[in-house]
Structure 1
Amino acid sequence: MRIDLHSHSSASDGTQPPADVVRRARERGLDVLALTDHDTVAGHPAAVEALPDGLTLVPGMELSCRRGGQSIHLLAYLFDPHEPRLLAECARIKQAREERARVTVERLTELGVPVTWEQVSSLAAGGAVGRPHIARAMVAAGAIAEPALAFTPQWIGTGGRAYVTRYALAPDRAVRLVRAAGGVPVLAHPKAAKRGYVVPDEWIAELAAVGLFGVEADHLDHDAYARQHIRALARDLDLAVTGSSDDHGELTGHRLGCETTAPEVYDRMTAEATGAKPITSQR
Structure 2
Amino acid sequence: MVDLHMHTKESDGTDAEWQLIEKLREAGIKTFSVTDHDTIGAVSGMVYLAPEDMLYIRGVEFSCLTEVRNCHILGYGFNKDVRAFGRMVEKANRQLRKIAETHMEYIAREAIQAILAAGGIPVWAHPYGGAGKREMHGEEFERQLKILLEAGLQGIECYYSAYDEEQVNSLLKVARKHNLWVSGGSDYHGDNKDVALGTLNSYGKVVTEDELTIIAELRRRQKEHPFPLIEVEEWHNYGDSFWLMPVRAKDVTKNCAYIDNLDCMKDEEISISESSFEDFLYPMFKKHFDENLPENKNRWESYPSEERKYVKGFEWYLTDNFYTYGSIEAVLTDIEATVAILAEDYDDPRLDEMWQGLRNLPDYIPGYWRRKEKLSAEEADKIVRENREHILDFYKRFVDSLRSMMKAGEAAGYKLISVCGP
C-alpha separation in 1, matches of 2:68 and 2:145: 16
Question: Partner of 1:269 in structure 2?
Answer: 218
Matched, 1:238 2:179: yes
Residue 188 of structure 1, CA deviation: 0.4
Letter aligned with residue 43 of structure 2: H
Question: Partner of 2:155 in structure 1?
Answer: 214
Q: Secondary structure at the match of 1:186?
A: strand
Question: Partner of 2:124 in structure 1?
Answer: 187
Is the CA contact 1:3–1:263 (under 8 Å) kept in the aligned structure 2?
Answer: no
Letter aligned with residue 179 of structure 1: L
Is the CA contact 2:40–2:89 (under 8 Å) kept in the aligned structure 1?
Answer: no
Question: Partner of 2:164 in structure 1?
Answer: 223
Is the CA contact 2:39–2:92 (under 8 Å) kept in the aligned structure 1?
Answer: no
Residue 242 of structure 1, CA deviation: 1.7
Cα 1:169/1:99, change in 2 over 3 Å: same
Question: Partner of 1:168 in structure 2?
Answer: 105
C-alpha separation in 1, matches of 2:41 and 2:79: 14
Letter aligned with residue 168 of structure 1: E
C-alpha separation in 2, matches of 1:255 and 1:77: 21
Q: In the TM superposition, what are the counterparts of 1:1-283 in structure 2 within 5 Å?
A: 2-68=1-67, 70-101=69-100, 130-131=101-102, 167-192=104-129, 195-196=133-134, 198=136, 200-253=141-194, 255-259=196-200, 260=207, 262-263=209-210, 265=213, 266-272=215-221, 274=225, 276=227, 282-283=369-370
Q: Secondary structure at the match of 1:14?
A: coil
* TM-score of the two chains, using structure 2 as the length reference: 0.48
Letter aligned with residue 121 of structure 2: V
Letter aligned with residue 213 of structure 1: Q
Is the CA contact 1:15–1:250 (under 8 Å) kept in the aligned structure 2?
Answer: yes
Residue 88 of structure 1, CA deviation: 1.6
Residue 195 of structure 1, CA deviation: 1.8
Q: Secondary structure at the match of 2:28?
A: coil
Is the CA contact 2:12–2:36 (under 8 Å) kept in the aligned structure 1?
Answer: yes
Letter aligned with residue 80 of structure 2: P
User: Across the two proteins, how many residue pairs are aligned to each other?
Assistant: 219
Is the CA contact 1:182–1:276 (under 8 Å) kept in the aligned structure 2?
Answer: no
Letter aligned with residue 58 of structure 2: P
C-alpha separation in 1, matches of 2:71 and 2:16: 25
Letter aligned with residue 228 of structure 1: N
Residue 192 of structure 1, CA deviation: 2.0
Cα 1:27/1:251, change in 2 over 3 Å: same
Residue 90 of structure 1, CA deviation: 1.6
C-alpha separation in 2, matches of 1:11 and 1:175: 22
Cα 1:187/1:238, change in 2 over 3 Å: same
Is the CA contact 1:76–1:184 (under 8 Å) kept in the aligned structure 2?
Answer: yes
Cα 1:188/1:261, change in 2 over 3 Å: farther
Unpaired runs of 5+ residues, structure 1, are 102-129, 132-165
Residue 174 of structure 1, CA deviation: 1.5
C-alpha separation in 2, matches of 1:173 and 1:223: 31
Letter aligned with residue 187 of structure 2: D
C-alpha separation in 2, matches of 1:53 and 1:272: 19
Provide Cα deviations, 1:141-196, integer angstroms capped at 9, x if missing partner. Answer: xxxxxxxxxxxxxxxxxxxxxxxxx7533112211111111111111001027622
Identity %: 26
Cα 1:71/1:189, change in 2 over 3 Å: same
Residue 249 of structure 1, CA deviation: 0.6
Is the CA contact 2:65–2:108 (under 8 Å) kept in the aligned structure 1?
Answer: yes
Using the TM superposition, name which of 4-13 and 184-193 deviates more.
Answer: 184-193
Q: Secondary structure at the match of 1:218?
A: strand
Bigger Rg, which one: 2
C-alpha separation in 2, matches of 1:167 and 1:253: 24
Q: Secondary structure at the match of 2:147?
A: helix
Letter aligned with residue 33 of structure 2: A
Unpaired runs of 5+ residues, structure 2, are 201-206, 229-364, 371-422
Is the CA contact 1:66–1:170 (under 8 Å) kept in the aligned structure 2?
Answer: yes
Provide Cα deviations, 1:57-108, integer angstroms capped at 9, x if missing partner. Answer: 111111111113722111101111121122122222222223223xxxxxxx
Letter aligned with residue 13 of structure 2: G
Residue 197 of structure 1, CA deviation: 5.5
Answer 1 or 2: higher relative contact order, Cα 8 Å, separation at least 6.
1
Question: Partner of 1:144 in structure 2?
Answer: none
Is the CA contact 2:61–2:72 (under 8 Å) kept in the aligned structure 1?
Answer: yes
Letter aligned with residue 133 of structure 2: R
Cα 1:71/1:87, change in 2 over 3 Å: same
